Amino acid sequence: MHPQYKYTFKPFYKPISTLFRFFLISVPCAFISKPINYYPLKLYPNLVEVVLRAMSDVFRDNRPVDRVVSFYLKNNPKWGSRDRSFIAESTYDMVRNWYLLWALLDRKPSFAKADLYHLFAAYRIYKGKELPEWTEFEGIDADKINERASYNYERVTQYSIAPELDELGESLLGQRWEAEIKAMSEAAPVFIRVNTLKITKEQLAADLLSSNIPTEPVSNVPDALKLLTKTNIYTHPLFLKGLFEIQDAGSQLIAPFMNLQPGLRVIDACAGAGGKSLHIAALMQNKGRLIALDIEGRKLEELSRRSRRNTVSIIEVRPIDSTKVIKRLHGQADRLLLDVPCSGTGVFRRNPDTKYRITKTILDNIIATQKQILQQYAPMLKVGGELIYATCSILPIENRPQVDEFIKNNPGYTFLEDRTVYPSENDSDGFYMARLKKNA
């Protein structure tokens, strides 16, 4: 991606940059040894203080929640797994329900320490837990909070979403919008993708079960398994051997959509840390050539490390440090994947802070960037090749209209097919994908 497309607000552009950040953004899903409801009622003041500071970091200082969690966990390496799990899940869950929690208190948002302690108390009560007798929780009426939890709030409060985005979503999706925003108000499940270069799905499921990690297959997602318990999957020997990757089930639908065969030359032009690149390589049976591009070299370095772990040899990483990188690849790709920057409306479960920040202005800028990428990167495709346009957005304005306008301006391309993956229907993140053919 050309540097001019780089956003200052990172969640709209591939929020996972390194393995460490990839690890931490999934902490609430994949690092927790047991669900938080399992933990004893005892709270530790130092851990609660961190959660409250995290709320201020996210909402007052406008910092992405994944970076906030990363910061505190990185700077407190002596915390045990239970403490780290408590910090991660509490932070993500409170961010996810920010407006609703203040409604349960019947107060307006505040960053005063006393108010944040009361907000945490409301959160604990909302989750069905008793509070310890701390002076910070004095004045909290659990009965009133439980009563307010039964109220039928308006959508922006019930599902904690910025009013401007709520209006945008309803105008673009109509009645579907409420079903989607409701589905994305819950914590995301953990999916893994089997590395079929090394193991079958059935064998991996059996091996995980032998270490007390039950899984289940995912309908219509051939290489996916859903974890049925939460565990520190990143330190599991099978992960370290490259037998699987953590990847959402919806994301796993994009590579099979690309009509791949062994021996092709494929370009993943916005590869990031390479989750889809690794899947593409597996579907090509590690035969052919796959060029992974990105404007951030550190992401590509992480892709190189992951490739070695996955025993993938066909991926060549190239940072986009000038427009010459794109020009040198003109007419070379049999398949070109453009997984473009987007609003991220399909991945609110994993990046809940973004639902408070998307505005019409930001969306307009993102749409303009998508148009530029399509126009400037498409020449890398050879005649007879196929372009796959993808987003992690469920807003139609970022999806099919972009494809239709591109074809209108570039009559040498024809539309083949498209698909939208909705969280309310698939228990996965939301994605859009379209496939075009270059005829001339």
pLDDT in tens, 188-231: 899 999 999 999 999 999 999 999 999 999 999 999 999 999 88
Token couple for 413: 């391309």
Predicted confidence (pLDDT) at residue 258 exceeds the cutoff of 60: yes
Residues with Cβ within 8 Å of 159's Cβ and at least 6 positions away in sequence, in order, are 100, 181, 182, 184, 185
Q: Do residues 263 and 372 both lie within one domain?
A: yes
Is residue 2 in a domain? no
Of 179, 53, 158, 36, residue with least CA distance to 101:
158
Report the number of distinct structural domains present in the chain. Answer: 3
Judgement on whether residues 274 and 399 belong to the same structural domain of the protein: yes
Whether residue 243 contacts residue 199, with contact meaning beta carbons closer than 8 Å, is answered with yes
Residue 80, pLDDT > 50, answer yes
Structural domain including 323 reads 251-438
For tokens 């200052």, the residue is 8
340 shares its domain with 238: no
Residue 392: active-site member: yes
Q: String of b and e for 154-165 (b: at least 16 CB within 10 Å)? A: ebbbbbbbbebb
Q: Of 95, 72, 92, 93, which is closest to residue 84 (Cα–Cα)?
A: 72
Q: The CATH number of the domain where 373 resides is what?
A: 3.40.50.150
Q: What is the pLDDT of residue 81?
A: 86
Task: Confirm whether 3 is domain-assigned.
Answer: no
Question: In whole numbers, what is the pLDDT of the chain averaged over residues?
Answer: 91
Q: What is the pLDDT of residue 328?
A: 97
Q: Is residue 238 part of a domain?
A: yes
Mark whether 289 and 410 lie in a shared domain. yes
Span 65-69, average pLDDT: 96
Are 49 and 151 found together in one domain?
yes
Distance CA(181)–CA(348), nearest Å, equals 8
Cα-trace Rg, the chain: 22
Instruction: Tell me whether residue 363 is in a domain.
Output: yes
Q: Among residues 29, 270, 342, 392, which one is catalytic?
A: 392
Is residue 408 situated within a structural domain? yes
